[in-house]
Structure 1
């Protein structure tokens, strides 16, 4: 079991660079991202852990399905396909499907989330 609680100690995350280093595109500011995979690996069909980003905006098209819960900070997520924007604070969660393009607008100095990512498998030929 890997617990994620709002009042837990914050483990040190690994520097992941800029949004471009994780396949996203910076829209505004100079956000930096970090994280720690605590379950699975980047090549596993299912993985999870912690992710953080600093103030700014970036666009990402999701290469996996994700369920996430915000632990720290405030951000707005905008689904570019529908135009829907939702503002999140600590304890709020979301689900994003593979292929969805989302604008991340980090409104606080930084955010931190826990996440579970599921990479779709190809259908058999």
Structure 2
């Protein structure tokens, strides 16, 4: 499933603005939803892992074009067959992160593969390997 394409403008949090040097107000930034497309809940983007609270991260959640709200959410406990953790939060409304494909990342990787084939794994028999191009994991 492709990644959701919803974006939101996130103004800097008030505590960050209060800590900024005079005349150097932090700028707003855009966040991209990390969930799979066609989810029926709020959009979500992870902002940072909470090192002081292991097992959780700060996410921004928003609906439509409204302002987002920051919330601390625990990590999804699911593991894929290779024992890698889902990169989303518990009870997320879309497939696990390994089932969500970022089409922008795929397009960039394809372009880089064409321009720099020596940096990417090529099957020894010359056939397509059936997996996304990328560095050789071996």
Compute the TM-score of the two structures, normalised by the length of structure 2: 0.22
Compute the TM-score of the two structures, normalised by the length of structure 1: 0.24
Higher RCO, 1 or 2 (CA under 8 Å, sep at least 6)? 1
| Higher Cα radius of gyration | 2
Name the structure with the higher helix share. 2
Name the structure with the higher strand share. 1
